[in-house]
Structures are given as C-alpha cells and as structure tokens.
Structure 1
Amino acid sequence: MAKRLPLILLLWLFTDIYFYNAIETLSYNNLLRWGYWLIDFTLIAGLIAVIFARRVNRNPQQLVTWLMALMLLSFVPRLFSMPLLLLEDITRLFRGFPPRSAIVSELTLALALFIFGSLLFGITRGRHFYKVRRETIYFPDLPEAFDGFTITQLSDIHSGSFSDAQGVQKGIDLVNEQKSDIIFFTGDLVNNKASEMDPWIPYFSQLSAPFGKYSVLGNHDYGDYIPWESKELQQANLKRLKEVHGDIGFKLLLNETVKIHKGDQSISLIGVENWGKGGFHKYGDLQKATAQISGDSFNILLSHDPSHWEAVTLGHEQHIHLTFAGHTHGMQFGIELFGFKWSPIKYVYKQWAGLYQQSGKYLYVNRGFGFLGLKGRVGIWPEIAVITLKRQVKKA
C-alpha cells in the first residue's frame, strides 16, 4: 500500500483539478471552492495517517472503515463523470480552446451527484440489500434421486463487521424462505476472532434444511491477520471457531468427505480448508479429502477461494462436478445490470462472481453475505445463492 501511495495521490490530484474545472465554470463562490479542496486534503491526510499507524503496528480499523467510505463518495463520482469533460476538451482542442460550456459542466455535475447518491445508498443500505440468485445446472450422471435437489449457499459472513441485528435477521429469514434441501457455507465466518460470532449465534442457529448444513473455513477464520500474544492463543481461537460452527448447527468439513444420502443413492460432499494463490495460506488438501471417494461418485466441493478451482480442482484425478466458493465479495463494488457485470476484482480473480464452466465441471462463486472493510456494498449486493441440480436426460 505504501509503495502505491504516490500513484494514488497523483490520480487523486488529477481528478481533483480536472473536476474542479466544472465547479469553477458554474460558480465563483469562494466558500464553495475552499470547501471542495478542504474535503480532499482531509481525506488524503487520513490516508497518510492510516499508513503511518500500520507502520508502528497499530490497526486503526474504525478509521480505515470510515476513510474507505468517504474516499469512495469523494473520488468515484469524479472519476466516472470525467469522461464528459474529456469529450468536451477533445472538441475544444479543434475549436481553439473556447471557454468551457456551462451545459457540459452541469451535465457532469448531475452525473456526479447521481453516482454519489448511488454510492451513498450502497454504503448506508447496501450491506443488507440481499439478493437471491438462482441457477439450474444439468448433469448427465447426477443420481436420479437428486434430480431437482436444491442447495442454498452462503459465504463470507464476516460477523465481526455486523452492527444491525434487524438487517442480519432479514438475511436469515430470506435464507429459510428458500426451503432448500441443504445449506452450504463457504468460509470467513469472522474477520479475525471467534468471539466476533458470539452475539450472532442465536441468529444463524435459526437456519434449517432437511439434509443438513455444511461448512468450510476461509482465510480470515485462522486469525492470521492480527497479532497474537502467543501461538497458543491463536490456536485456541481457531479451536473455538471450529466449535462455533457446531454451535450454529453446521458440520465443519476439514479436508474430508461426507456422503449425502437420499433413498438408496448418494452424492459425495467434499470440504477443504482454505487454499489460495498468491500470498494466501494453502491449508487445503484435496488429495486427502478425496482419498476414500470411489471413481463413479458424484462430487460436490466446498472450497473458499475460487483460485483453487483452476490451480488444483480442474486437474485433479477425481472428477469434481461442482465447486462452491466465495472469498472475492465481488469487491463489494461494481456494476451488475441486464446481464452485464463488472468489478475491479475481475483483474485479480478470473472467476469472481456467479457460475463458471470448464470441461464439464462447474464453479459457483458467491458474492458474500456480509462485508469487510467498507461497511456497505455498491452495485455488488450481498448474495443468497440457490442452485438446483437437474439430471440431464440423454437423447435417444
């Protein structure tokens, strides 16, 4: 972060100066002009304060949360409305640079205000603006008993970020309304500590499904991102977190497989610990988890990080029909309209939200139930995924 600070400040300054041209065109009010610059200088000072605090091993989480929200509100409207000014300047270049048009500046300001309003909604209401997303996936070798079997998937609860009990209850109720056969949770129950979940155990205990509830760990569940007085305390925290899964009625899968039976048929449910590319720990062991699976088994995998799919799962000796993952949150920021989806996270994760297919194997990446860092969501809303398994009838 510190290495990228000069680039961030330069981009911030460029958009500041450029957007200021529209303000200057529309108003000569000195109070408005000084207020414009004061806001940005305050935010930049806050950014520098966070960086220095981390250098001296402090974790100013509240400051980071507020700073992220205010930076989005300030920076993103300017960034996305600037193309109007750029287009005008291209025409001004061929017209001898006449004064900037007041109409174009008004349109730019109107667009910026619209984006600002959308961001404000996301930050204040978006954190619990749950969306149920449905997919039906067909498999030629799905056991007949499981034709029409429904799965609700949750991911990235991040209970340490919650503060609105009514908002969380809204999500819990919506999950139960789906009446799915089984519920999966694909990791990151907390931000750092098992105790973050204590106030929310009564809420998530309400989740129910006739074929049970199953879960795996995510990268945040191990407590790797905060300092501990001793390794023993960190291990005790992880032990307690594993117990919390049981407290809310979930069977936690730790590099292991269980059979889900329906009548005299079954499918294999595999759960691995977190495995991620880059700097993430690789606790997951798919080889160990699948050691007892027969070759003709229908296999579903729970694996928190979607990078595990291409790096390990696709090439594994066992055919993993369907993988459920989370982790990305869709960056909690982006656009999803009329089938189009975009988020900056796509430049980090190839598979970042929704359903993916390759070589007859499927991956579903959940956008997350909770939130982290930014206390809200903009465009990428919290998700409850409902997947229906269907048996593909072979043509005669």
Structure 2
Amino acid sequence: MNQLGSIIFLIAIFLFSTFLNWYVFQAVKTLTFGLEGERMKQIVAVSYWLIFGGISIWLVITFLRIFQMGEINVQTQTALNVFLTVMVTQLVCVVFLFGEDIVRNVQAGVTYLVNGSNGFSFPERMRWVSGIALVVAMIPFSSFIYGVTKGKHNFKVHREIIYFDDLPDAFDGFTITQISDIHSGSFTNYDAVQKGIDLAIDQKSDLFVFTGDLVNHKAEEIDPMLDQFKKIKAPYGQFSILGNHDYGDYVSWSTKEAKEANFLKLKNQHKKLGYRLLLDENVVIEKDGQTIQLLGVENWGLGFKAKGDLEKALANTAASDFKILLSHDPSHWDEEVKKNMNKVHLTLSGHTHGMQFGIETPIIRWSPVQYRYPNWAGLAEENGRYLYVNRGFGFHAFSGRVGIWPEITVIELRKTVSSME
C-alpha cells in the first residue's frame, strides 16, 4: 500500500470507528436520561468518549506501526483484537438503533402529513429499544472475549469419509491427517499448542500432510515449536507445501539477500520437522503393491502469489493414476485443478481460516469469508473431483476464533462398492 493509500485507509478507519462510537452513544445517552443530576450524565458521556475514542486513536496508531514495520506482531494483534471485539459489538447495537430510526422517521413523516408543521416534533428514542440493543450486543462481546482467550485453542477433529470408484483396493480405508495454517508467529501458549498436536498424533493416520503457512513472516517463528511438531509421524510419511505467508512477502526486509536467506531457512525448517516439502512435484505412495500419487504445488492463489505449477506437479502421472493434491489456496481448485484434463481426485487446502469468525451449526453455516471464497471450509465436489478446505490450526491478525474453531482433519479414503456385488 502506497503512502497516499495508507493515509486514506487510516482516515477511513478512524471515521468509521468514530461513527460507530457516536451511534452507540445515542443508546447510552437515552438510557442515562433518568439519571439524577447533569454532572452524572456528563461523567457517563466523558467516560464513554475517553474509552471508545481512545480505542479509535489506538487503532490508528497500531496501523501506523504495522505500516512502518511491515508486519503484524503479538503487540499489534492486541489492538486489533480490541477493535474487532468492539466493532462487532457496536454493529449489533447499531442494527437495533437503525431499525428504530427507520420507525421514528416513518412516524415523523406520517405526523407531518396529518398535522403539518403545527406542533410537530421528532419522536424521541425509546429507552427499552436502547436497553435491548445493548443487552443483545453483549452476546457477540462475550463470544469475542471467549474467542480471544479460549477459542483460538479449542481444537476440533473433523472427519470425512470420501468414496471413489477407482481407488486402488489396497488403499480402501487409508487415512490422512491434515493440518494447515499453523502461523507459528502468533502463538504464545505452547502448552495449548501441544493439545492440538496431541490430537493430531492420536488419530494414528496412515499419512500426515501440512498444507502451508508455517509462519506469519519469518522462518524463525517456528523455532520454539520445532520439537513439538516434529513428533507428528505417520507410517507412510509426512508431507508439506508452502502457503502465501511462507515467502516473506508481507514484511520489510533490509536487503533482497536477507529475504532469500529467510526463504531458504523456511524450507529447511520443514526438513527439521520431518516433513517432505513438495515443490511442484509428486511422490508415489505404495501399499501392498498398489500406488497412489501425492502431488504438492507452491502457493497458487487468486489475488495472491500464483507461483504453483500444476502441470509440473502432474509430470509423469497418467490419467488412470489416483491422485491427491496439496494446494494451499482453495481458489486454485476452482480456477485450475477441477478443470484439468488429468484428473486430480482429491485436493487438500487451507488458507481461509474460515476467517476465524462465523457460525457453523446443522442449520446455519455462515462466515464473511464466503463472499470471497465459495469453498471456504469443509468438503466440496464437482464431477467426481473433491476439495477439502481445512479451517486452520493457528490464527493471524485477529488472535482469536469465534465459532470457527481450529481444526485437525482426518480423511478416510474408501472404495465405492458396486451395486452388482
């Protein structure tokens, strides 16, 4: 982002935050009408603006630091956590207040049409509406507090059984554990991380794969957890790929050589973890004399680094081969993989994190990220080609998770049983 763009962004953030502060203050002001004494009302008003105006200024200062450093660190994450918690809480409150404003304007219009300007007055806000708005707004507030303190470590195992007509018989029941988006630079509670690692180990899958974004920016971020993650083992090996954050593109480097050295170290970190890093290539997984092809590409993302070379990864594979692809960004599946004449049976991705915020119930499934990624979490299928999008192991920018919990995926491959058998 250039300097002018940064200034415009900061002004927009400050104005939007101030607007929300002002709108919610209308509810606070309405509820303080009953307070005795003007001084008490002034104390409430001054306290409100000192707190929420201060948060708006803190946010602007935080973004200035991010622009200067070129990265988001643990300290700047705190301000982003506070801002997102306050913003979502305020937006819920504003929905009620805005609805009331529509009703008040309709009432005012009808009154004016009936009585004209004589004795006309704009309807005042109703205290009970302001009270409900603030009470309901406590639901997202509490959810975000939980998400920041506990939710980001609330690891969940998601299991999928996927059936294929042409799966080699030896691989019927073959299991794969997948994790993605560790974002190691965001973690500070290594005991909580170990709980997620233990869950992955406990699955005792045949194969383990990691689908990118080992770090936020720098290879050294994984150093404190190398010994923890290297304990994940599988009989048929551990394989990994790169994500968009692994290239060091989102941080300022003193020299081009420093960035290149970091990237070399990052690739070596995979080796230290015991992961075979696949860089636009494929390997053969053999079981009982039969084989499947495991492919891995460098990052390819619509709107992100599009470096991965699918054709190179498919080299020396036949259309009849059963193929599993590791590709960090699910947009790659939409744009290239599912259209390729050389069929890839299953693609495993991550990247979206489910935006770390949303609702997933048997009835409702929603996250803001769905407006950017049609396939943002879980299983998708088209013409017998499957995509699974992992919700991510870690977190970034917003150091919390609300409704979209960190995930360990277990995929079981099964051979379709013919109806004639």
TM-score (norm 1): 0.94
* Distance 1:193-1:57 versus aligned 2 partners, 3 A rule: closer
Which stretch has the larger CA shift, 240-249 or 223-232?
223-232
| Alignment equivalent of 2:319, drawn from 272, 277, 295 | 295
Q: Secondary structure at the match of 2:240?
A: strand
What's the CA shift string for 1:174-201, capped at 9, x where partnerless?
1112121111100011112211111101
Q: Which residue of 1 aligns with 2:256?
A: 231
Q: Which residue of 2 aligns with 1:383?
A: 407
| Alignment equivalent of 1:173, drawn from 198, 202, 212 | 198
| Alignment equivalent of 1:358, drawn from 366, 375, 382 | 382
Measured after TM superposition, the shift of residue 289 of structure 1 is: 1.0
What's the CA shift string for 1:215-274, capped at 9, x where partnerless?
101111111222223323322222222222121111111111111111011111000111
The answer as to whether partners of 2:80 and 2:397 remain within 8 angstroms in 1 is yes
Q: Which residue of 2 aligns with 1:136?
A: 161
Q: Which residue of 2 aligns with 1:117?
A: 142
Q: Does structure 1 residue 16 correspond to structure 2 residue 21?
A: yes
Measured after TM superposition, the shift of residue 51 of structure 1 is: 4.1
The answer as to whether partners of 2:391 and 2:404 remain within 8 angstroms in 1 is yes
Q: Does structure 1 residue 25 correspond to structure 2 residue 30?
A: yes
| Alignment equivalent of 1:344, drawn from 337, 344, 368 | 368
AA paired with 1:205? Answer: K
Unmatched runs of 5 consecutive residues or more in structure 2: 36-40, 109-121
Q: Which residue of 1 aligns with 2:328?
A: 304
Q: Which residue of 2 aligns with 1:103?
A: 128
What's the CA shift string for 1:14-37, capped at 9, x where partnerless?
332222222122224432322222
Q: Does structure 1 residue 208 correspond to structure 2 residue 233?
A: yes
CA distance in 2, matches of 1:235, 1:20: 50
TM-score (norm 2): 0.88
* Distance 1:328-1:48 versus aligned 2 partners, 3 A rule: same
The answer as to whether partners of 1:328 and 1:352 remain within 8 angstroms in 2 is yes
| Alignment equivalent of 1:371, drawn from 378, 395, 407 | 395
CA distance in 1, matches of 2:345, 2:239: 18
RMSD of the alignment, in Å?
1.9
Measured after TM superposition, the shift of residue 376 of structure 1 is: 1.3
Measured after TM superposition, the shift of residue 54 of structure 1 is: 5.1
CA distance in 1, matches of 2:342, 2:363: 33
AA paired with 2:343? Answer: H
The answer as to whether partners of 2:10 and 2:63 remain within 8 angstroms in 1 is no
AA paired with 2:283? Answer: V
The answer as to whether partners of 1:50 and 1:60 remain within 8 angstroms in 2 is no
Measured after TM superposition, the shift of residue 163 of structure 1 is: 0.7
| Alignment equivalent of 2:276, drawn from 227, 241, 251 | 251
CA distance in 2, matches of 1:25, 1:144: 70
Identity %: 48
Q: Secondary structure at the match of 2:336?
A: helix
Q: Does structure 1 residue 217 correspond to structure 2 residue 242?
A: yes
The answer as to whether partners of 2:21 and 2:53 remain within 8 angstroms in 1 is no
CA distance in 2, matches of 1:388, 1:307: 23
Q: Which residue of 2 aligns with 1:192?
A: 217
